[in-house]
Amino acid sequence: MAVTREMFSDVMVPNYNPAQMVPVKGEGSRVWDQAGKEYIDFAGGIAVNCLGHCHPAMVNALHEQSQKLWHLSNVFTNEPAIRLAKKLTDATFADRVYYANSGAEANEAALKLARRWAIDVHGEQKQKIIAFNKGFHGRTFFTVTVGGQPAYSDGFGPKPGAIEHVPYNDADALAKLIDDETCAVMMEPLQGEGGVVPPEQDFVKQVRELCDKHNALLIFDEVQTGFGRTGTLYAYEQLGVTPDILTSAKSLGGGFPIGAMLTTAAIAEHLKPGTHGSTYGGNPLACAVSEAVLEVVNTETVLEGVKQRETMIKEHLAAINDKYNVFKEVRGMGCLIGAELTEQFEGRARDFLLAGQEHGVMVLVAGASVIRFTPSLIIPEADIKEGLKRFEHAVAQVVG
């Protein structure tokens, strides 16, 4: 069957508005569309393809596992799931892992666990969940309500309750709202979707202290920042703060759907048999791929390389800005970089994205005024240079 982009509107629910071209092939950090046009991929499937497209380690792991065992459900466990959990707990603060299929589901599990823990340990009154304006935690009704973007959570009727928000990087506002009835604070260690907003110095430490003072759990949503994206396996390692619960997805599977919630043994205990679950969670194919990704990503070479790529990309963007004066600020950590547009171009990030596609480079936006770059963690230097050259042409086109 010949497939065209036009068919999309005839057969798909219109909640997405994908690009006009249809990609058909990817290799490393390059992608080709139906017409054979080549793109440098700085989007990486929205911070997912941490090893680029079709990395041999992932292809081999998937191929090997596909000939052994595809699915069993959680009525049985499986070797890849246990092996990956052992490696994840060895590499982090966590003692226990719960598997999901996406970031939203990992966060849903984290929030339900926090509520259950609070009820078990402190009683029914300890329900309040505090999160941050412009945060993003997924699209289930619980997670989208905890996310601080009413545009995403409004218009669906009554929301889950006892959820409140304060501005990110405002520890005083959190101090005013948090109390002994707070069960958890959920945050991204660096806000991704909300505009690539890093935490200010000491903010995260202050959040941790406030949680400790009021016996509230601290949940780090590392769905976007995790699995090497910021230059350490998880961003918390660089912030000097350890969360009680951490969620991971996106790069965790490198392109194969998987999510995970990591926590301590004492907290994990409160999700007893039958309290929560997922048919596909811990699927052997997903876990085998994730294990292969972890083996490559969690090495000094790759993590150091992320920092080098950050410097390189930021330098190139600064050089583009010297010529065209389009960015107010270039910020972010590792391979999660945002370029905020000046007042003159406010609200026009999508124009740069579209011009980029025309010139053969895929970028993302994070809100209306921030262009976001989330390339593969191992993107070759030559692809960074070529991609930013193409991006410069796109900038020139938008500037006119």
Q: Indicate which single residue of 33, 188, 291, 310 sits in contact with ligand PLP (rule: CB under 6 A).
A: 188
Candidates 132, 136, 203, 327; catalytic one = 136
CB of 191 to ligand PLP, least distance (A): 8
DSSP H helices in 92-166: 103-122, 141-146, 150-153
Candidates 250, 256, 345, 383; catalytic one = 250
* Smaller CB separation from ligand PLP, 41 or 221: 221
Q: Indicate which single residue of 42, 136, 203, 234 sits in contact with ligand PLP (rule: CB under 6 A).
A: 136
Residue 104 interacts with ligand PLP (CB under 6 A): yes or no: yes
Could you confirm whether 221 is annotated as catalytic?
yes
Q: Which two tokens stand for residue 189?
A: 């260690």
CA dist 41 and 12 (Å) reads 25
Could you confirm whether 373 is annotated as catalytic?
no
Q: Which two tokens stand for residue 227?
A: 């699995």
CB of 362 to ligand PLP, least distance (A): 16
CB of 70 to ligand PLP, least distance (A): 21
Q: Of how many residues is the chain composed?
A: 400
Region of residue 255 (left: phi > 0; alpha: psi -120 to 50; beta: else):
left
Span near ligand PLP by CB under 6 A; candidates 149-157, 172-180, 186-194, 279-287: 186-194
Q: Indicate which single residue of 111, 118, 204, 249 sits in contact with ligand PLP (rule: CB under 6 A).
A: 249
188 burial via Cβ count (<10 Å: 0-12, 13-18, 19+): buried
Span near ligand PLP by CB under 6 A; candidates 3-11, 131-139, 340-348, 359-367: 131-139
Q: Which residues of 116-248 form beta strands (DSSP E)?
A: 128-132, 163-166, 182-187, 217-221, 245-248
Phi/psi of residue 291, each to 5°?
A: -60, -40
8 Å CB contact between 393 and 320: no
Could you confirm whether 213 is annotated as catalytic?
no
What secondary structure letter does DSSP report for 200?
P
Residue 102 interacts with ligand PLP (CB under 6 A): yes or no: yes
CA dist 285 and 99 (Å) reads 13
Candidates 41, 221, 244, 383; catalytic one = 221
Q: Contacts with ligand PLP: how many residues (CB under 6 A)?
A: 15
Report the residue closest to ligand PLP, judged by CB: 103
Residue 137 interacts with ligand PLP (CB under 6 A): yes or no: yes
Residue 245 interacts with ligand PLP (CB under 6 A): yes or no: no
CA dist 39 and 23 (Å) reads 9
Q: By CB under 6 A, name the binding residues for ligand PLP.
A: 46, 102-104, 107, 136-138, 188, 192-193, 221, 223-224, 249
